[in-house]
Every structure is written in C-alpha cells, then in structure tokens.
Amino acid sequence: MTEHMNIAVFASGSGSNFQAMVEHETIRPHIKLLVCDKPGAKVIDRAEQYGIPVVVRRQADFPGKESYEQDILKHLQEQTITWIFLAGYMRLIGPTLLHPFSGKIVNIHPSLLPDFPGLNAIQQALKAGVRETGVTIHFVDAGMDTGPVIAQQTVPVLPGDTENTLQTRVQKVEHTLYPETIVKLINK
Ligand code: GRF
C-alpha cells in the first residue's frame, strides 16, 4: 500500500460500518475525512472521538445537487482523497463526484444485489420470504445500487426473524466484509 491511499467515508447515520473501518489497523491511517449530510448523525460523534476531520453539509443548503457536490469535491481535493467508501450514505452520487472518482467509489448494501436495491433492503427480504439474504459491496455508478459487484456474502434468514434480528445478523457480516474488501482494494 502506498502513502497516497487517502480515504473519505460518506455516511448519513449511525456509522457502525465507519467504526469497523476505523478499528481496522490497516485502514485507520488512511481515513482522512468523514463526509456527512445529516447534522447530528451519530457517525459524526464517532469520527470526532477518533480525531477524524468531518465535513457536514446538507444538500438543502445549496441551490442544487451540483453545487452541494462541488463543495464536497473541494474538501476531497484539499485532503487529496483517492478512494470514497459509502457507508449508509443515503443519496445517489452525481456526475460532479462520479467523474473525478471514476472506479474509486464503493458502496455497501444489505442484500444480495441485484435483489432488494434501494431503501429498506432488510424489510424487503423479510417480506419476500427468502431463506437467505446477504451483503453486497459494489462499485458505484449513476444508478441506485447498480454498479459492478466486488464482493458478496450470504446471511441466513431464520424462522421468527424480525427486522431487528435480521439486521443485527447482516450488520455483523458487514463489519468484517467491508474492511476486508477495502484492504484488498487499496492494496491493488
Ligand atoms: C448498512 O446496513 C449499509 O449496508 C447500508 O446502510 C447501513 C449503514 O449502517 N448502506 P451504519 O450507519 O454503518 O451502522
């Protein structure tokens, strides 16, 4: 791994995946920035605890998506970011960020894509009555959870599962699969 692997994590929520990355000793030194679009999100506290710089921006405070992403791009460039890992960032990435980071933006999704894309993937799996679901890590393109798959791991759906119990099982897999995949990607 070279000195030039500078990671920004984009997250909007709790940040348990962000925490799993930060706790991984190979990844930790490369995390230079957290970008968050939800003031007050728990992930912001986690970043501050680890002394990781945070940029909090609400798209609603900008005239549109392009100017919002231009502002974020400026911060990414200031930190010479080379990889973006989305971890519960609940927005589509627009061309302003996709073009300069082509092939360098990765997302984690709590289903076996192409099954159950978009919101509430755990709920969708329960409703569909599938016996297994899982976790997908994929490159980001302009679509919703549509880019090329990098890694997948299955998770069983057990009789009596609720959204909570299934989500807990899925997230446990996320917290090892994402860091492992990141290490492989940035080592290439
Ligand atoms: C994860 O389940 C991830 O797959 C999805 O959003 C959730 C984020 O959880 N994209 P957390 O904020 O990392 O706890």
- Structural domains in the chain, sorted by start: 7-108+137-152+174-186 (3.40.50.170)
Phi, psi of 9 (to 5 degrees): -105, 135
Is the separation of the CB atoms in 135 and 125 below 8 Å?
A: no
Residue found under tokens 């962000």: 18
Q: How far is the CA of 42 from the centre of ligand 1 (A)?
A: 12
Q: How far is the CA of 88 from the centre of ligand 1 (A)?
A: 4
Q: How far is the CA of 64 from the centre of ligand 1 (A)?
A: 25
| Residue 2 pLDDT exceeds 80 | no
Per-residue confidence band for 93, with pLDDT thresholds at 50, 70 and 90: very high
**What is residue 171's predicted lDDT score, i.e. its pLDDT?**
98
The CB of 134 under 6 Å from ligand 1? The reply is: no
Average pLDDT rounded to a whole number, residues 96-106: 97
pLDDT in tens, 4-58: 799 999 999 999 999 999 999 999 999 999 999 999 999 999 999 999 999 999 9
**What is residue 4's predicted lDDT score, i.e. its pLDDT?**
78
**What is residue 73's predicted lDDT score, i.e. its pLDDT?**
98
The CB of 11 under 6 Å from ligand 1? The reply is: yes
Rounded distance between C-alpha atoms, residue 6 and residue 184, angstroms: 15
Per-residue confidence band for 123, with pLDDT thresholds at 50, 70 and 90: very high
**What is residue 103's predicted lDDT score, i.e. its pLDDT?**
96
**What is residue 188's predicted lDDT score, i.e. its pLDDT?**
80
- Pick the atom of ligand 1 nearest to 107's CA: 10
**What is residue 36's predicted lDDT score, i.e. its pLDDT?**
98
Burial of 150 per CB tally in 10 Å (0-12, 13-18, 19+): middle
Which of 16, 47, 10 is closest to 170 using CA atoms?
Answer: 16
Q: Which residues contact 70 (CB under 8 A, 6 or more apart)?
A: 96
| Residue 1 pLDDT exceeds 80 | no
Q: Is 175 a known active-site residue?
A: no
The CB of 16 under 6 Å from ligand 1? The reply is: yes
Phi, psi of 43 (to 5 degrees): -60, -30
Burial of 160 per CB tally in 10 Å (0-12, 13-18, 19+): exposed
Ligand 1, atom 2, residue with closest C-alpha: 110
Average pLDDT rounded to a whole number, residues 82-92: 97
Ligand 1, atom 10, residue with closest C-alpha: 88
Q: Which residues contact 128 (CB under 8 A, 6 or more apart)?
A: 115, 116
3-state DSSP assignment of residue 98: helix
